[in-house]
Amino acid sequence: MGFRHELGVETKMLGGCGARWQIHPRFGVTGGVAFSLIQHNGLSALALGADALLFDFGNIGLAAGVQHEQWNDWQAGENRAFGIVTAEPVRGLELAAGAAWRVPLLDAERYMSPFNWQSAVPEWNLLYRVEWTFLKRRQAEASAWMANIDRLTVHNPQQFPFGLRGAHGLGRGWSLLGNCGTAINGLSGVLLSLSEVTLEFGVARAF
């Protein structure tokens, strides 16, 4: 469950779930879905992806996927395809960089379709992610991150999202998860404008 507020844009509750299947020690697939309340009621996002570990040295790998996101009150949506290179040069420091092809959907009759890849204003965006796990114990870990892509969303280029993430083991494969984040919306001299607040809490189950 989550809450998202972007000043002057939207305020909504989000509920969702995701899954990961480690098909092979070097290859996995992921998927996710989210629903929105308060604003844009109904389906909010879909995602499907895959990742592969290429080299043990530096844990260098590749990840790719597709995302669909929609804003029902505005009758608008966006489809995305992305690819990134991932690495862990030192233990606890994860890096990623790549690109996304973004296709805004402005047709009121087709904005809900994850199969609609026609748009008058498609664009390429660069992607990045830096995450540092600064605390790791037997049952708990915490990390700081800065990234313009997550499992369901790609942020706009003028935003610089960052935040904290944590997990605590509850036993028998269950974990309690938490994430909080915001974003700098543009830079003007030494003035920073924080544009959004995101809070998420949930549980995960490993099988």
Indicate whether 190 pLDDT > 70.
Answer: no
| CA 103/CA 122 separation, integer angstroms | 5
Write down the pTM of the prediction.
0.93
Tokens describing residue 144: 């700081």
Indicate whether 186 pLDDT > 80.
Answer: no
User: If you average pLDDT over residues 52-62, what whole number do you get?
Assistant: 97
Question: What confidence score (pLDDT) does residue 165 get?
Answer: 98
pLDDT tens readout for residues 143-177? 999 999 999 999 998 889 999 999 999 999 999 99
> Rounded mean pLDDT of the chain?
95
The one-letter amino acid code at 155 reads H
Q: Is 3 left (phi over 0), alpha (psi -120 to 50) or beta?
A: beta
Residue 201 near residue 1, CB atoms below 8 Å: yes
Indicate whether 101 pLDDT > 60.
Answer: yes
In 139-173, the DSSP E strands lie at 140-147, 159-171
User: If you average pLDDT over residues 67-80, what whole number do you get?
Assistant: 98
Question: What confidence score (pLDDT) does residue 146 get?
Answer: 97
Binned at pLDDT 50, 70 and 90, residue 52 comes out as: very high
Instruction: Give 147's strand partners.
Output: 129
Q: 109 by DSSP, 3-state: which?
A: coil
Least confident of 52-66, 90-104, 176-190: 176-190
H or E segment at 5? strand 2-6
